[in-house]
Each structure stands twice: as structure tokens, then as C-alpha cells.
Amino acid sequence: MSLVIREAFLSFRRAPSLSILSIITIGFALFVVGLFGLVALNFKEALEEVGERVEVVVYLTRGTPETVALAAYDDILTFPEVESVDFVSADEALVEAREQLTEFQGLYSDLATNPLPSSLGIKLKPGFRNEESVRAVADRVSGFRFAEDIQFGDDWIATLDRVRNIAAIIGLVVGAAFALASIMIIGTTIRMTIIQRAREIGIMRLVGATDSFIRMPFLLEGVVKGALGGVAAVGLNYAVFELVNRTLLQASFFGTEHILLIVAFGILLGFFASVFSVRRHLRAV
Amino acid sequence: MIKFTRVFKAYPKGDLALKDVSFHLRKGEFAFLTGHSGAGKSTVLSLIHAERKPTEGEVRVSGFNTTSMPRREIPKLRRRLGIVFQDFRLLEDRTAEENVAFALEATGARSNTIGPKVVRVLTQVGLAGKAKAFPKELSGGERQRVAIARALVNDPFVLLADEPTGNLDQRATRGIFKLLEDVNASGTAVLMATHNLDLVKNSPYRSIELEHGEIVFDSVVDADQEAAR
Ligand SMILES: Nc1ncnc2c1ncn2[C@@H]1O[C@H](COP(=O)(O)OP(=O)(O)OP(=O)(O)O)[C@@H](O)[C@H]1O
Ligand SMILES: [Mg+2]
């Protein structure tokens, strides 16, 4: 075992620039994925915040009896998506309008009749604050006889959804490109190491070392590089996060499980890149 | 022990390197393998340590059938053989003792067993005093002693030597040959490919001569081989 460890670290010493390059590319691959992960994470939190304001408002036909409205209220509350329903009577709506629209206070106070309809404000549960569910609820409510008009912010919900998806896709594509580059660079490092160590490998075979024993230092090396790349990626992500936090806006950072996930990805990347190229190149020696 | 039965070996894009070769090396025997350059000596040795497989025929080495054995069995076979070459094949960045220890480490030996074994074989080859020397600080003969120590450290039943004295002057040649005789006297069989006909002529050991891949002379032809022919 000690031989395996020694051999693994020998290549760091013999090809330091290539080893560092492998670590940097793994780091960049995961950094980019992490960056878009951060964007998605913060978007998600932002969405949750505005999501609390996602509301389907049903304006009731004038003259709808309050009993009917209350029956509808109970009915809507049983929808699986619905968190709460808020009944606003026409009088309440007028009071609210007067408070909020101070410029028009005079106008509203002069009115002989109340021009505002009563309404039901429907709030959705956290898992359902997306375009689909909003539409579904709106559709069902529109079936009510007394529903005069239904309003929901479908446009901006769709836009937020789209932006989040685009961020995720860009992150994956760019990350995959860097991952591919890192696999290729690890492959080159391993090929060079194998050529440099052809003599040692030949002697190991001659004295009866097994193939898996000969492979092990390379795999260990890949795992170490992957782990270091993962740690570097988390560090870079943290630097960006700090920068944004100080200069632009209050953002949040990955939790421990995300950080471990990034490092684990690095380890997997290093390991599989090594397995792949060791298999290929050891045959040639 | 080692038994070739009607072995043919063809290299890709080449003539037959071995043609109908049969011989039997017995336990503890010492034998020379002679013949002109290109006669097939190295090919015979490479079939024994399973670097190559015969094209036809059967090579048996201490219970292993190298023709049919799966690749993963090869290390097991090699751990029971010792192999030395004309060019020593030492690692230049390691000392004599590290080179010997390498053979044990590479086969997964427990680390506390390595030290004593290395000291024992280095003493056996007469290099106990140069354990800390790097190959470049050693003479050709001394380097070959390190290589022999490495070959012996796993207690092989046979030592295969491919022109072990090819790069050495007369004095060093005699020294290495004496060492191989000592190794043989302690019970290890030795199969030595060589161009040095003086050595062959002045020794009492068996010699097998190859010419263009065929055995043209064998000083010990046993009954098995007669039967095989
Ligand atoms: N890897 C190879 N590919 C193709 N032909 C080979 C290969 N190795 C050896 N040969 C051929 O096989 C024949 C036997 O070669 P071998 O190396 O066994 O001879 P040898 O007796 O060891 O010669 P020498 O005394 O020069 O070492 C030669 O004709 C050689 O050209
Ligand atoms: Mg040869």
C-alpha cells in the first residue's frame, strides 16, 4: 500500500504543471457548475419569497350574495394546491383603496355607489407556486357562475421559471464542456506518466505485480486531483459569492450538503477519467 | 518443472521464431540456452514467463499452462520465477536495497517482512555493503548482482537469465557466473541464455542449442522428449 501512495504522489512531483492543470480544469468545471448552481439557488429563494405573493384573484359579479361567496370560499379551500383564501368584500376593498391610493382619496369619498367588486384572493401552497398550478386553479375557479374576472401574474411567473431553467441548462452545458476538458487533460497526464514510468511498470509486471496494483496509483492520483479540484471550485464559488454579497445584493451560499456534493463530483470525475485512460494507455506499455 | 511440448512461435509479420521445440527442465537443474543471434533464445524465455503465448504447442511451468492460463493468473506465475536481463533493468532513482524491496512491495508484501528479506538476498549476492548505493554508483557486475538479488527475493524455483553477462567484462562475467552456480547449488534451477561459449564449454552443465528456432543440440535428451518427437 505504501508503494501505491508513494507512486501516486511521485507523479505530482514529476509532472507538477500537468497535475496542477488537471486540478485547475476540474476546479473550473465544478466552479462553473457551482456558479450556475448558486444562481439557481438564489433564484429559488427569490422565487419562494415572491411566490408568497403569488395570488389568484377572483372578482365576483356585482350583487353576488355573501352566502354564495362564503360557500365558494369553503369550496376553494379544499383544492389541494390552495393554502389560504381571503375574502374581500366590496366595502373592504373601498377602504383599502382609499388607504393605498391617497391621491384619489377625494375621488373615492365623493362616490355615491361603490364601484369596486368583492373578491376572493387565493394563495397557493409552496410546492404549487408555479405557472401550471396557477393556471389549473384559475381554470377551475373560472367555472364558478359568479366569477366575473380572474387575475393572476402568469407572465412574470413564466419568465422566472424560464430564467431559472436557462441558468440551469447553461450551467450544465458549460460545466460539461469543462468536465470533458478535464477528462482529456487527466488522460494526457496519465499517458505522460505512463510513458515516463514505462520502465517501472515493466519491472512491476516482471516481478509479478497484478494489473490492479499497477493501476492503483493512477486511480489514487485521480481521486486526489478530483478532491483538490472540488475544494478549489468551492473556494472560487465562495469568492464570487462574497464579492456579490459585498457589492451587489444579499445572496446566500451553498449548504454543507451542496459543498460535499461538489467535492464528491470532483472525486468521481478524477476517478473515472483515470480509470478510462489508464485502461487505454497501460495496454501500450 | 518447465516443459515445452512441440512449441511453435510465430511473430506477427515474421517467420517462425520457434519450430517444434520440446525440452524439459528438471527441478534444480542448470542449463544453458545457446545459439546465434536471432536463434530464438529470448523467445523461449519469454514463453516461460508468459510475456508471450506459443502459437502452437504447450508450455508448462510448475503447474501453470501458459498457453491456456487467463491473463490474471500471470502475476501468480511470475512471483514464482526470477528473471534477469543483460541490461539489468534497475530503477536508476532507487538504491540497491530499494530496487530489491520494490519487487516485494509491488507484490503486496507486508512491510515488516521486507527489510530482513532484502538484507538476506543482498548478503547472498555479496552486496551487503552497497545497499545504499544507487545503480550509477555501481559497476556493471554489481548492478547485475542487484538484479539477481531482486530476482531471488521472492524465493523462485527457477532463475531465468537472458544473457546476464552480455554487458560485462571477463572478470565480472566469472563473478556473476559463480553467483549463478551458488544460486543453483542452493536448489534453484537456472536457465541461462548466453553467447559465451567458453562458459558453456568449461562447465559441466546441460546445454540446449537453438538454430533458426529449432533445437539442434541438447546434451540431455530425456525419454519424454524422445516420445514427443
Ligand atoms: N517482438 C518481435 N516481433 C517480431 N519478431 C520478433 C520479435 N522478437 C523477436 N523476433 C524475431 O524472432 C526471432 C528470434 O528472436 P530472439 O530475440 O528470440 O532471438 P535471440 O536468440 O534471443 O537473439 P539474441 O541473441 O540476439 O538476443 C528473430 O528472428 C527475431 O527477429
Ligand atoms: Mg535475446
Sketch the domain layout of chain B as residue ranges: 1-80+194-229
Name the minimum distance, in Å, from the CA of B109 to any CA of chain A.
9
Average pLDDT over residues B58-73: 92
Residue of A nearest to B88 (CA): A203
Average pLDDT over residues A221-232: 91
Name the minimum distance, in Å, from the CA of A4 to any CA of chain B.
8
Q: How many CB pairs under 8 A join A and B?
A: 53
Ligand 1 centre to CA of B41 (Å) is 8
The span from the CA of A97 to the CA of A88, in Å, is 12
Backbone angles phi, psi at A114, to 5 degrees: -80, 120
Helix, strand, coil shares of chain B, percent, nearest 5, are 40, 25, 35
State which ligand 1 atom lies nearest to the alpha carbon of B46. 18
Residue A26 makes CB contacts below 8 A (sequence gap 6+) with: A179, A182, A186, A225, A226, A228, A229, A230, A232, A233, A266, A269, A270
Residue A165 makes CB contacts below 8 A (sequence gap 6+) with: none
Residue A46 has pLDDT above 60, yes or no: yes
- Could you tell me which of B211, B204, B203, B208 has the C-alpha nearest to residue B219? B208
Choice among A44-58, B161-175, B189-203 with the minimum mean pLDDT: A44-58
The two most distant CA atoms of chain A are separated, in Å, by 105
Where is pLDDT greater, at A2 or A139? Answer: A139
Residue A227 has pLDDT above 80, yes or no: yes
Nearest CA, atom 26, ligand 1: B37
Q: Which amino acid is at A195?
A: I
Question: In B62-184, which ranges are E strands?
Answer: 64-65, 81-85, 158-162
State the architecture of B1-80+194-229 in CATH terms: 3-Layer(aba) Sandwich (3.40)
Average pLDDT over residues B54-60: 95
Ligand 1 centre to CA of B37 (Å) is 8
Q: What does the DSSP 8-state code read for residue B71? A: G
Backbone angles phi, psi at A75, to 5 degrees: -60, -50
Res. B224 pLDDT band, cuts 50 70 90: low
Any chain A CB within 8 A of the CB of B72?
A: yes
Burial class (CB in 10 A: 0-12, 13-18, 19+), A28: buried
Residue of A nearest to B154 (CA): A207
Average pLDDT over residues B158-186: 96
Q: C-alpha cell of A166?
A: 436557462
Centroid of chain to Cα A240: 16
Average pLDDT over residues B19-41: 95
Say how many C-beta atoms besides its own lie within 10 A of residue A152's C-beta.
19
Question: What pLDDT does A104 receive?
Answer: 61
Choice among A88-92, A106-110, B140-144 with the minimum mean pLDDT: A106-110
DSSP β-bridge partners for residue B207: B32
The span from the CA of B24 to the CA of B220, in Å, is 9
Cross-chain residue pair B150–A213, CB shorter than 8 Å: no
Cross-chain residue pair A3–B102, CB shorter than 8 Å: yes
Q: Which amino acid is at A113?
A: T
Residue A97 has pLDDT above 60, yes or no: yes
Average pLDDT along chain A: 81
Ligand nearest to the CA of B162: 2
Asked if B20 and B10 touch (Cβ cutoff 8 Å), the reply is no
Any chain A CB within 8 A of the CB of B77?
A: yes
Domain A55-151 matching CATH 3.40.605.10: the answer reads no
Output the CA–CA distances (angstroms, integers) from residue B131 to A175, A202, B35, in the order listed. 52, 23, 36
Residue B216 has pLDDT above 90, yes or no: yes
Residue B137 has pLDDT above 80, yes or no: yes
pTM score: 0.72
Residue A153 has pLDDT above 70, yes or no: no
Say how many C-beta atoms besides its own lie within 10 A of residue A250's C-beta.
7
Asked if A198 and B145 touch (Cβ cutoff 8 Å), the reply is no
Backbone angles phi, psi at A237, to 5 degrees: -60, -40
Question: What pLDDT does B9 receive?
Answer: 96
Res. A91 pLDDT band, cuts 50 70 90: confident
State which ligand 1 atom lies nearest to the alpha carbon of B43. 18
Cross-chain residue pair B91–A207, CB shorter than 8 Å: no
Res. A109 pLDDT band, cuts 50 70 90: low
Res. A61 pLDDT band, cuts 50 70 90: confident
DSSP β-bridge partners for residue B206: B31
Please tell me which of A28-32, A95-99, B150-154 the model is most confident about, judged by mean pLDDT: B150-154
Ligand 2 centre to CA of B11 (Å) is 14
Name the minimum distance, in Å, from the CA of A196 to any CA of chain B.
12
* Domain range annotation of chain A: 2-49+161-284, 55-151
Pick among B78, B93, B100 to test the A interface (most A CBs inside 10 A): B78
For ligand 2, a single-atom ion, the residues with CB < 5 A are B 42
The span from the CA of A142 to the CA of A149, in Å, is 8
End-to-end CA distance of chain A: 23
Residue B223 has pLDDT above 60, yes or no: no
Say how many C-beta atoms besides its own lie within 10 A of residue A241's C-beta.
18
Q: C-alpha cell of A181?
A: 476538458
Any chain A CB within 8 A of the CB of B154?
A: yes
Quote the percentage of chain A above a pLDDT of 70: 90
Sign of CA dihedral B141, B144, B148, B153: positive
Name the minimum distance, in Å, from the CA of B22 to any CA of chain A.
25
**Three-state secondary structure call for residue B217:** strand
Q: C-alpha cell of A12?
A: 505530482
Question: What pLDDT does B43 receive?
Answer: 96
Average pLDDT over residues A250-271: 87
Cross-chain residue pair A202–B89, CB shorter than 8 Å: yes
Only one residue has cell 512491476, namely: A204
Question: What pLDDT does B96 receive?
Answer: 96
Average pLDDT over residues B139-152: 97
Average pLDDT over residues A144-166: 75
